[in-house]
Amino acid sequence: MERGNHTVTEFILLGFTSDPGMQLVLFVLFLAMYFMTEVGNTSLMVLICNDARLHTPMYFFIGNLSFLDLWLSSVYTPKILVTCIAKDKSISFAGCAAQFFFSAGLGYTECYLLAAMAYDRYVAISKPLLYAQAMPMKLCAFLVAACYLGGFTNSSIITKKTFSFDFCKDNVIDDFFCDLLPLANLACGRKEGTQALMYFLLTSNVITPLALILASYLFIIATILKIRSAQGRLKAFSTCSSHLASVTLYYGSILYIYARPGSIYSRDNLVSIFYTVVFPMLNPVIYSLRNKDVKQALHKLIHKSS
């Protein structure tokens, strides 16, 4: 990767606050959230792997979502913890590029995976008796592999473009991690190029998967409306509620950060915390709180361990 300005060897992450007392509070808070994220997602993956009843396409996708959240949180949180307690808040140029690459790759992959999960829910509702035949594991594995390929291919392109900027202003990032918007504000003479890069990012990695999700849910709604009994409609809708909650929370926060007017010039760090740290922690709760199969698998594992 060629740098625009070879004199930039590191960046300074300002984080959230310079108050020592508040930094300690934030350190404890983020450490607790990181612990819950790792335990929650790891536990969900273990349950899915160990219980034969969870060896279905839906749980295959949920397991991969937990895997993504496990690593997505690990890209951000350790550096946040260091920034909270360490006097040296610097990150090397290569370290910043690596964090940018993996956070973008994992994040874009999650966007595509949520779209694949929407298609899975459509098949499950429209063809309940032929679900296993319509969604064989080979197709599920292919969809997941395509999500990773698309996510990290786009991440490679965007990382190369971003870190070829001329960082001629300074090296202080008013944020807690290396992202396109704060890095673009340090670049000189690249506002139009940055805007085009953001449009590419949003169109290929956010808008397109979201359009596929909305299309899937239009077909899902049309199928549910054909069900005669109210109980049947409610049961069909409940199979999508967890996924719908994930899509709303994840895409809502991303669109607010990157698609709102003037987003290239200003950034809401509180909202960005949501999709980088809080969302990976919530996903295991979303997919297990109202899920009888997961609860039964957990009780079975606890009883077996006892």
What DSSP string describes 96-128? HHHHHHHHHHHHHHHHHHHHHHHHHHHHHHH-G
Two structure tokens written together for 126: 């429209």
CATH homologous superfamily for the domain 10-305:
Rhodopsin 7-helix transmembrane proteins (1.20.1070.10)
Within the chain, strands assigned E span: 10-13, 90-92, 172-173
pLDDT tens sequence across 45-63: 988 888 888 888 999 999 9
Q: What is the tens place of the pLDDT at every residue in 172-231?
A: 887 788 888 788 778 776 556 666 776 777 778 888 999 999 999 999 999 888 888 888
| 9 has a pLDDT exceeding 70 | yes
pLDDT band at 6 (very low <50, low <70, confident <90, very high): very low
- Could you tell me whether strands 172-173 and 10-13 are parallel, antiparallel, or unpaired per DSSP bridges? parallel
Average pLDDT (290-294) is 71
- Of 11-25, 162-176, 242-256, which has the strongest mean pLDDT? 242-256
pLDDT tens digits, 136-150: 999 999 999 999 999
User: So where are the chain's domains?
Assistant: 10-305
Distances from the Cα of 4 to the Cα of 34, 64, 102, 186, 188, angstroms? 35, 37, 21, 12, 10
Sheet holding 90-92, edge to edge: 90-92, 10-13, 172-173
Identify the three-state secondary structure at position 17: coil
For the residues 79-92, what does the mean pLDDT come to? 85
Give Cα separations from 115 to 23, 36, 210, 224 (angstroms): 37, 26, 7, 19
Phi, psi for residue 135 in degrees, rounded to 5: -125, 65
The pTM for the full model equals 0.89
